[in-house]
A and B are shown apart, each in its own frame.
Chain A
Amino acid sequence: MIKDKREVARRGEAAAIPTAWEYAPAPESREIVHFEDRYGLYIGGQFLEPLSNERYTTIDPAREEPLAEIAQAGKADVDRAVKAAREAYAERWSQLRPSERAKYLFRIARILQERSREFAVVESLNGGKPIRESRDVDLPLAAAHFFYYAGWADKLEYAFPNRTPRPIGVAGQIIPWNFPLLMLAWKIAPALAAGNTVVLKPAETTPLSALLFCDVVRQAELPPGVVNIVTGDGRTGAELVSHPDVDKIAFTGSTEVGKAIQRTLAGSGKRLTLELGGKAANIIFDDAPLDQAVEGIINGIYFNQGHVCCAGSRLFVEESIYETVISKLKRRMKTLRVGDPLDKNTDVGAINSKQQLDKIGSLVQSGIDEGAEIYQPPCKLPERGYWFVPTVFTNVAQSYRIAQEEIFGPVLSVLTFRTPDEAIEKANNTPYGLSAGVWTEKGSRILAMAQKLRAGVVWANTYNRFDPASPFGGYKESGFGREGGRHGLEPYVALDGS
């Protein structure tokens, strides 16, 4: 029995140094994954050698080791894929009863669930994202997306009152490298449910999960040509966008490329949806549950290394709680574990590519040069691979590049406000309008803020939540069209009538 309270305090102090304890490594095995040495293009239900004869190497960004040789599809390859999709559309997929289409999609959802561990490892290996996120977010959501849209395939007439929805034809789809399989699911599931066929181009740096998905297509016995995968860099994407026999383009990526695509399609009459960049405001009021809010800030910006178009990259803190929030935030940042994406304890994985690492580095340098104050927690990084320490900037002015431009990395800019109106004014002061976060215990304030924020998704007392039933997409220069929910069908149907 201890009599002296002060002694308890002293002993507590002496004992309270568990920070020196290291986590034991908890690596997910990569044995479940087998890569081919080289991959062709998946066209008409089979892998074909690229007519372009061009190839490139895709790597593991955490180890800078090659994983496989990937085909760089050229004009003739894209043409072949579009022809296969057209034929499949005319002769097979559009002739099928919608209830049969639904069952194919249900099959895909089930196979993804069955093979989710394998896919999770592929995502982490090729993309650099922590296995915990691939396993708990990317894969369950990708499967759920197919399951959700499978159910719509034979119920489309209920989604569009007073209309008979028809498929559009061949959809060309271009996806980014931050959520490779999930973005594939967001694109392919609604397109197929509505009766279209697709030619999808995965991102240059992350083609492997899309190529493995071809095996899911095979196992599901999808008719040949309904799903075609062409790999390559931006040149391949440009060929797909400008191909005359593609009826609809869906693009997720940077605002710059989105604008270029819109220009290319000008006057063509082709359908277009764009899901582009963001610079989301995450707004913390003084009555917010602060510990939860700090978790939300962390999740908002460091989730997936900040490679998230809707990342909460601008933090707005009410002045009265600024010191508290910053000190809690820094303390929490110190506990983030940066390193091997395949380790189940890793919070922040590898930056997706050298190019992206350089871009993040140069924007962070601009923040320092413009006068912002940088904080990075002490952090031991692996020797090989592409890494960036979670970073927060304070003393940021609205005009700084780090407050204006999308960094797409683990870099947070903190600004302050005094009144709700000021928060709205600052939050909306950007060409982007993809998402926003609001933290307060006051329900009426949440709804008022949600109403005034010019953003397609508003998270209240939470952040970075996604669901196949929940429409996602931007205002302003963050693009147009929605993915998810009933609204996510609209880009893939033609509606007749007056």
Chain B
Amino acid sequence: MSRLPVRKTYKLFIGGAFPRSESGRTYDAEGANVARGSRKDLRDAVRIARQAGAGWSGMTAYNRGQVVYRVAEMMEARRAELAGLSSGADEVERAIDRVVWYAGWADKLAQVVGSANPVAGPYFNFTIPEPTGVVGILAPEPPLLGLVSRLAPVLVGGNTAVVVASEAHPLVAIELAECLATADVPPGVVNVITGLRRELAPQLASHMDVVALDVTGADGDLAELERLGAENVKRIVRGKADGQSPYEIAAFLELKTVWHPIGM
């Protein structure tokens, strides 16, 4: 006798939980009733991401690297599910390997991006990278590799993220969120909103607690999003939808320079 499979309801990912949209709305994507996140959902996500910032950025780099590595472990365990919701095994394997690659950067960034500066005076002067804060990400295609390519550098640098998933292919983003939730990524560090770009993107761009906006996956009126972002001098990042480099991480880092006198 054939068994009737149990289907999954795809919901949002906010603060480590999987709530429905507070609006109660859904939209049809990939044959599923996907949560159509509202502006309020997005604001909630930003608030929670901001709260999660201190804990995540306060972790040791070694620890953060291990958590990101664990994301890859969880993805490996869900290869079949991820492959079914993306372009296939190749995309999944590349995405997993990319997460591993970025995990290793956590405790090397300060050495590669930072510096000790030989100033002309009796001071020890050094520059260290620090996370910028809450980063808004408009996830690019392909839905898994694109999202991972943009999210991993944000995460490993110690930022927290509010992701607007691909509108046409949102399911794999929620599948990835399930990997994050079981990988010891603290609640609120990554939040994923599914829904309509035209509703969500301007909200993300104009939110005063979002410090940087990744527009790599922006569709539609990019100029308008950037204009909205200027209100709090947002860092606007156009990166690569399929690429990996420490420069992608550095785009979401601030540089802090400290002067300390030298004397007896």
Contacts and interface: CB of A to CB of B under 8 A. Distances in A.
A258 B233 CA distance: 8
A485 interface: yes
Contact of A465 (B121, B232, B243): B121
Contact of A457 (B120, B225, B244, B259): B259
Interface string A458-498: 11111001010111110111111010011100000001011
B234 to A, nearest CB: 8
14 contacts: A161-B246, A163-B247, A259-B231, A260-B230, A266-B227, A267-B221, A267-B226, A469-B118, A469-B125, A470-B127, A472-B257, A476-B211, A480-B233, A480-B235
A309 interface: no
Given A467-B117, A469-B120, 7 more contacts: A259-B233, A460-B260, A465-B121, A469-B119, A470-B257, A473-B255, A485-B115
Contacts of B221: 267
Interface of B: 112, 115, 117-121, 123, 125, 127, 132, 211, 221-227, 229-233, 235, 238, 240, 243-247, 254-261
A359 B58 CA distance: 41
A203 interface: no
A471 B245 contact: no
Nearest to B247: A495
Contacts of A478: 233
Contacts, number: 119
Among all A-B residue pairs, the 5 with the closest Cβ atoms: A267-B223, A266-B226, A262-B230, A467-B119, A266-B227
Nearest to B232: A477
Nearest to B211: A476
Contacts of A276: 233
Given A469-B125, A485-B115, A479 B259 contact: no
A431 interface: yes
Contacts of B232: 431, 476-477
B245 A470 contact: no
A456 B211 contact: no
Contact of A471 (B211, B229, B255, B261): B255
A262 B117 contact: no
Nearest to A461: B261
B117 A266 contact: no
A455 interface: yes
B120 A467 contact: yes
A486 B255 CA distance: 12
Nearest to B243: A498
Contact of A485 (B117, B224, B240, B261): B117
A457 B260 contact: no
A446 interface: yes
A266 B222 CA distance: 8
A161 B109 CA distance: 13
A265 B229 CA distance: 12
Contacts of B211: 476
A284 to B, nearest CB: 16
Contact of B240 (A274, A473, A498): A498
A144 interface: yes
A125 B221 CA distance: 48
Given A460-B261, A476-B211, A467 B125 contact: yes
A446 B260 contact: yes
A474 to B, nearest CB: 9
Contacts of B222: 266-267
